[in-house]
Amino acid sequence: MLGKMAERLDGKYEVVRELERTALLRKVEALDANGKSVRVDWFAVLDPKSRSGFHRYRTAVKNAGSPLLLDAVARPGAYYTVWEPVDGIDAATWLEGHPKDEAFRRGLSELGDVLESYGFALQDAHVIALQGDKEVRPALVSLQSADRSSTDIKALNAGLLEPIKVGRTNRTTAKPARVVSKPSVKTPVVDSAKPNTPSLRRRLTVWGIIPGVALLALFGWLGAQAVATFLEPPTVEVPNVQGKNLQDTLKILADARLTPRVSEGSDQTQLKGIVLAQNPIAGTTLTEQRIVEITVNRPRPLLMPDLAGKTVSEAKLALTELNLLIGRTAVIPAPAGMAPSMIVGQSPPAQTEVVKGQGITLLVSGSRAAAGKTFIPDLSGLNFDDAKLIVTAAGLRLVEVRTKPSNLPSGVVIAQSPKAFSTVALDSEATVTVAVASTARKPIIPQPVQPVPPPPTPPTPAPPTPPVVDPNSGTTPTGPNGLPPITNPENPSPAPTPPPITPENPPPPSTATVKPQCPVPFSYTIPADLGTVSLEIRVTDDDGERVVLPATSLPGGQPWEINDYPVRGKATFTVFVDGVSKAVEERDPKC
C-alpha cells in the first residue's frame, strides 16, 4: 500500500488533520515551519464577490486586535488566516460568571463597534475570555462570513451590548445656574464741581448692560448649537465606490463629506487602480468626516503555485483561483511512496511568473510499472520544455532532439521514440522531433532576358561542282540523287557559304521590375485584461518572413507601434501573444 505525501498549504503549513470543511471554508490543524501547532482557515475565493468579501473579512480580523491572529494572507491562490489554537471560556459564559467585570464588558463593546464598522455582528464572532497581564480581556478566535446592513447589526448586537451601555454611568454633573442679585441703588453725592457726573454714570450703566445681555444670549445660542452638533452630529450614507477607479472614489467620498483611508490589494482578474473593497459597506450611515477604508488594486506578479503532492481536483481548484487553465495532463508511472492521481510535476515550475489564462501542464501519477520498467506518455503537441520534463520524470534519457519543418509553432513535438504508452526499460534512450518554421520563402527575382537572335539567312546553295567527264568513257556522271549534276559552265568552282547575319544594333537586355522598399506604420495594443504577456510581431513580404519585435514581456493595456518599417510589396503583420497568433493585418505600401 503506497503512502500519501503530507499535504502542505501555501508550501508552509503541513496539514495534520482536518477540523471543518464547507463549500467556501476549510479549517485544519497544521504545523508551521518551526513545528508549532496552528489553526489555518483556508478560504475558497473563486470570483470577485468572494474576493471582495475576504478582503473585508481580513481587514476586520486585523483591526480587531486579537493576540491569537498570527497571519492573514491575501494572495492569488492563497487566501487564509492563521490562528494560535487556544481553549478559553466563551465571552458570554464569562460575563454570566463575572457580571461586575466592567473592563471585560467595555472591551467587548469596543470589539463590537470595530466589527460593526466592517459589516459583522458580535453574533458572527467567536470570542473568548483571555487572561492578560493585569486583567481578562475578550479575544477574537474566529469570524464567520457575513454581509449585513448597519440596521441588522445594531439589532443583533442590542441584546448583548445594550446591558453593557446601560451599566455605564454619566459622571458629568450639571452646575447650578448663577443667581445675580441686583445691587441696591444708592443716592449719589452731589458735587458742585462735577454736576453731570451722576447722570453720565447712569447712562453708561444702562447702555453697557444691554450689549452685554445680547452678547450673552448670542454666546448661549451658539453654545447650544455646538452642544447639539457635538451630541447629534450630522450623518451621511456611505456611497458605493467598489469597482470605481481611485480618482473618482476620492472625489465621491469628498463630496459625501467622508475621509478615505487607502490600502492596497492584489487581484489579477481586475484592472489596476480600481477599488476592490470598501469598509463600511455601501448604505451604512456614518457621521460626517468618518473614515472609509478602501482597498485599491495593485496586482502583484502572478506566480505559479506549487502543486506537487496535491490531488488533481485540488490542483484544478488552485489553478481556477488564479484564472489559469489546465493545458495538458500527462500520466506517468507513480514514483515510490506516491499514490495514484497525485501531482508529480508541473510546467511552468512553482514561483515562475505566469499570466492569467495560461495553460499549465500537469504530470499525474498513474499505476506502478513493473520492476525496472516504465512507460512514456504521448508527447505530441507539447512544447519541448514540457516534453523534456515528462521524459525525465518517466525515467528515460532524452538523447536526441530532431527538427522538421512544419506549419506548427516552433518547438512543438510532432514525433517521439519510443512510441506513446509503450513499456520500456528504465533509463532507456528517447528522442523527440520538434517543429521548426518552414524556410522563409525567398523573393523570386526575375533574371535578365537575353535577346533572341534572329534566325540566320539560309545561304544560297552553290552549284555543285561538275564532275570531270572523261570524254573517252562515253558515260554521263550522276549526282547524289541519281540525277545528272547541274553544272555552271561560267564558274565551275563551288560558291562559298556566307556567315550568319548578326544585327548591327541588338536590343538591350530587358529586366523585370523589382519593387522598392517602402516604410509603413504598424501598431498593436495589448488588451488591458490580459496582464503581463509575451508579445512577438512578425512580418511577411516579398523578402520573406522576419521578426519585427522579438518576444518581449509587456503589461496589458500598453500599446506598441512603429512608424516607418521598411517592407517590399504587400506586407502581412502577425501578432503572437504568449506564442498564440492573435491578430493578422495587411499593409499595401504606395511608393
Is residue 157 a part of any domain in this protein?
yes
State the pairing for strand pair 413-417/397-406: unpaired
Eight-state DSSP code of residue 125: E
* CATH, residue 314: 3.30.10.20
Last residue of a domain, one of 297, 320, 337: 297
The CB density around residue 299, as the number of other CB atoms within 10 Å, is: 21
Is residue 492 a part of any domain in this protein?
no
Residue 72: its H or E element: strand 69-75
Q: Clarify whether residues 276 and 325 are in a common domain.
A: no
Is residue 332 a part of any domain in this protein?
yes
Q: Clarify whether residues 390 and 417 are in a common domain.
A: yes
Last residue of a domain, one of 129, 150, 166: 166
Is residue 388 a part of any domain in this protein?
yes
CA angle, corner 45, sides to 300 and 553, nearest 5?
30
Is residue 109 a part of any domain in this protein?
yes
Rounded Cα–Cα distance for residues 373 and 334 (Å): 12
Q: Clarify whether residues 320 and 428 are in a common domain.
A: yes
Backbone angles phi, psi at 550, to 5 degrees: -60, 160
Q: Clarify whether residues 329 and 354 are in a common domain.
A: yes
Four-residue CA torsion sign, 565, 567, 573, 575: negative
Rounded Cα–Cα distance for residues 533 and 526 (Å): 8
Q: Clarify whether residues 267 and 347 are in a common domain.
A: no
Q: Clarify whether residues 143 and 259 are in a common domain.
A: no
Q: Clarify whether residues 269 and 378 are in a common domain.
A: no
Instruction: Compute the chain's Rg from CA coordinates.
Output: 48
pLDDT digits (tens, 9 = 90+) for 347-357: 888 888 887 77
Provide the pLDDT for residue 177.
35
Q: Clarify whether residues 311 and 280 are in a common domain.
A: no
Provide the pLDDT for residue 446.
44
Rounded Cα–Cα distance for residues 80 and 72 (Å): 6
Rounded Cα–Cα distance for residues 509 and 450 (Å): 6
Is residue 465 a part of any domain in this protein?
no
Q: What is the average pLDDT score of the chain?
A: 76
Last residue of a domain, one of 437, 459, 485: 437
Provide the pLDDT for residue 441.
43
- Nearest alpha-carbon partner for 42 in 67, 13, 63: 13
Q: Clarify whether residues 544 and 428 are in a common domain.
A: no
Is residue 20 a part of any domain in this protein?
no
CB 499 within 8 A of CB 566: no
Is residue 48 a part of any domain in this protein?
no
| The model's pTM | 0.38
Provide the pLDDT for residue 82.
95
Q: What is the pLDDT along the chain (591 residues), one digit of tens a residue?
A: 344 456 888 888 999 999 998 878 999 999 998 899 999 999 988 777 788 788 889 888 998 989 999 999 888 778 899 999 988 888 888 888 888 888 888 888 889 888 888 888 888 899 998 887 778 889 999 998 776 777 777 777 776 666 554 444 443 333 333 333 333 333 333 333 444 444 434 444 444 555 666 666 666 666 655 555 555 568 899 999 999 998 899 999 999 999 898 888 877 777 888 899 998 888 888 888 888 999 998 877 778 888 888 888 888 888 888 888 887 788 888 877 778 888 888 888 888 888 777 888 888 888 777 888 888 888 888 888 888 888 888 888 988 888 888 877 778 899 999 888 888 888 889 999 988 865 444 444 444 444 555 656 656 555 555 555 555 544 445 454 444 454 444 445 454 554 554 444 555 554 445 677 888 888 888 887 777 888 888 888 887 778 888 777 788 888 888 877 888 888 888 888 877 777 888 888 877
The CB density around residue 387, as the number of other CB atoms within 10 Å, is: 27
Contact residues for 558 (Cβ-Cβ < 8 A; gap 6+): 525, 526
Domain that includes residue 330, residue range? 303-437
User: How many domains is the chain built from?
Assistant: 4
CB 464 within 8 A of CB 434: no
Enter the C-alpha cell of residue 330: 500527462
